[in-house]
Amino acid sequence: MTGLNVRTTLRYRPGPDVLSGEIDLRAAGGGATSTESPDADSTFVWVAAHTNEVRSQGEYLSSFQLVHASARLADDTAVTPLPAVIERAARALIATSLEALTFHNSTAARLRAKAESSTELPLESVQRADSTTRPRVCSVVDSSAAPRLSTSLTRISEAVRRRVSTDNEAATATDHLSQLLLELSSTVSFRRGRAAPSTTAATRAAARGRAALTECERQALERAFRDLDDPASWHQVSESLDQLALLIERSERA
């Protein structure tokens, strides 16, 4: 145990659903830094401590950013690469922020909203346990899998977007799902086959909402998304999404 505490500041923007954090490591000394993105939706900066006051030498979390944070933390199937103590604080900040927004009907106010919390945490709580616990960077081996999946996601996004609904709430939810599918397509393509578990979680949550899908289509999309965080399975996911897109396209022509 080091006996040192570090000031940890979390910031959350509910509109874009982005969580970021900064840990003041000046008491631990500033050593070499390393930046890593274990997936397409998260970035972590680690600092090696080197002062005499720090008895347990190693790497400590200095800052991070996580997109679609609330969706990822709410999804039981999505791995959250945050230290446990920071994850608990993040969950509390996000819950408070989203609860406060229930009193605001203005879309502009939601987009401008920001929340922040600061607390003192034990230095060892933000230490990387050891090299074997580093988040695994998982990319596809087959270079053709990412472009194919991106194409499949774009196709199903377009198929969903064309689904007509006379219910305003369902129409809004359908458009939201279509936009998330398109965002996921772009992320998969741009990040060269890196999984995007936060965006996947947000898309999965949107599919469970009031989007204009039949129950059969909803279940098929859920099944296809089960392996979306595993790039090794992307060829199979593409096949499932293409089959679903074809079903939706045929239903619109019927």
- Closest among 26, 83, 81, 21 to 49, alpha carbons compared: 26
Write b or e for each residue in 11-21: b if 16 or more Cβ atoms lie within 10 A of its Cβ, otherwise e: bbbbeebbbbb
pLDDT recorded at residue 165: 77
Give the pLDDT of residue 78. 80
Q: For the segment 110-125, what is each residue's pLDDT rounded down to a tens digit?
A: 778 899 999 999 988 9
pLDDT of residue 190: 86
> What's the mean pLDDT in 219-238?
91
Q: What is the mean pLDDT of residues 225-242?
A: 92
Share of the chain above pLDDT 70, in %: 88
pLDDT tens track for 39-98: 999 999 999 876 555 555 688 999 999 999 999 999 987 888 899 999 999 999 999 998
Q: How confident is the model at residue 133 (pLDDT cuts 50, 70, 90)?
A: very low
Q: Is the pLDDT confidence value at 131 over 50?
A: no
Model pLDDT, residue 206: 94
What's residue 166's pLDDT?
A: 81
Residues 6+ apart with CB under 8 A from 6: 23, 24, 25, 27, 28, 60, 120, 121, 122, 123, 126
- Phi and psi angles of residue 12, each rounded to the nearest 5 degrees, phi first: -135, 135
Per-residue pLDDT at 130: 59
Task: Report the alpha-carbon distance of residue 67 to residue 71 in Å, rounded.
Answer: 9
CB-facing half-sphere around the CA of 49: CA atoms within 13 A: 26
pLDDT at 164 over 80: no
How many CA atoms within 13 Å lie on the side-chain side of 30? 3
Check residues 237 and 28 and name the one with the higher pLDDT: 237
Cβ 149 vs Cβ 199: under 8 Å: no
Which ranges of the chain does DSSP label H, i.e. alpha helix? Answer: 69-74, 84-101, 107-112, 145-161, 168-190, 197-207, 215-225, 234-253
More confident position, 63 or 252: 63
Average confidence (pLDDT) over 17-29: 90
pLDDT band at 172 (very low <50, low <70, confident <90, very high): very high
User: Which of 17-26, 44-53, 118-127, 204-213 comes out lowest in average pLDDT?
Assistant: 44-53
Predicted model pTM: 0.87
pLDDT on residue 102: 75
* Mean pLDDT, all residues of the chain: 87
